[in-house]
Amino acid sequence: LSSDFLFVGILLIFSILLPVAGLGFAWVIRPKKPNPIKQSTYECGIETIGEAWVQFKAQYYIYALVFVIFDVEAVFLLPWAVAYDRLPLFALVEAFIFIFILVLALVYAWRKGALRWS
């Protein structure tokens, strides 16, 4: 397994080199004339009022939670899918039960209005 990742490691080194080389080259040849107005936040030409680092709306967290449910489910189902043709018929029933429970979660979230954008 470690030799499988050898190529990924080499590619990672080269792909880090690409932005480093690109940004480094641009750093050498580009003009540098900073001034405070230029470096202010881009917004209608006037100073931004208040911080931009505010709290996220809670709605996004609810979507993220529903996402986690399904992503973890997929992680459990992938080994099942790989070994599927070697599994007995009962594996299908098990998967149906597993997905049924998840669909219940989705239906619950739906009914609760968690999936409604407000």
Partner 1 sequence: MEAIITWLSAIIPGMPPATARLIVYALYSAALAFMAPVALVVGYTYMERKVLARIQDRIGPNMAGPLGLLQGFADAVKMLTKEDVTPTNADRTIFNIAPALATIAVLLVFAVLPVAPGVIGSDLPMGVIYVIAVGGFGELAVLMAGWASNNKFALLSAFRVVAQLIAYEIPMVLTILTVTLVAGSMKMGDIVAAQDVPFIVTLPVAFLIFFLASIAEIGRSPFDLLEAESEIVAGFHVEYSGMKFAFFFIGEYMHLFVAAGVAATLFLGGWRGPGASPDTILGVVLGFIYFSIKTNILVFVMMWVRGTLFRIRIDHLLDLNWKFLVPVSLLTMLAVALVLKLPVLGSPILQWGGLLLANIIVAAVSLAAVVFAARRSQSAALRGVAGVDS
**Shortest Cβ 27–partner 1 spacing (Å):** 8
Q: Is 91 exposed, middle or buried (0-12, 13-18, 19+ CB in 10 A)?
A: middle
> Which positions from 61 to 80 touch partner 1 by CB under 8 A, shown as an x/- string?
--xx-xx--xx--x--xx--
Task: Give me 13's structure tokens.
Answer: 């080194």
How far apart CA 29 and CA 24 sit, in angstroms, is: 9
The CB-of-78 to partner 1 minimum distance in angstroms stands at 6
Place of tokens 């239906």: 107
101 near partner 1, judged by CB under 8 A: no
Determine the straight-line distance between the first and last CA of the chain, rounded to whole angstroms. Answer: 47
Helices (H), ranges, the chain? 4-29, 58-82, 90-111
**Considering CB under 8 A, how many residues would be counted as binding partner 1?**
70
82 binds partner 1 (CB under 8 A): yes
Q: Which residues bind partner 1 (CB under 8 A)?
A: 1, 4-8, 10-20, 22-23, 25-27, 29-34, 36, 38-43, 48, 51-54, 56-57, 59-60, 63-64, 66-67, 70-71, 74, 77-78, 81-82, 84-85, 89, 92, 95-96, 99, 102-103, 106, 110, 113, 115-117
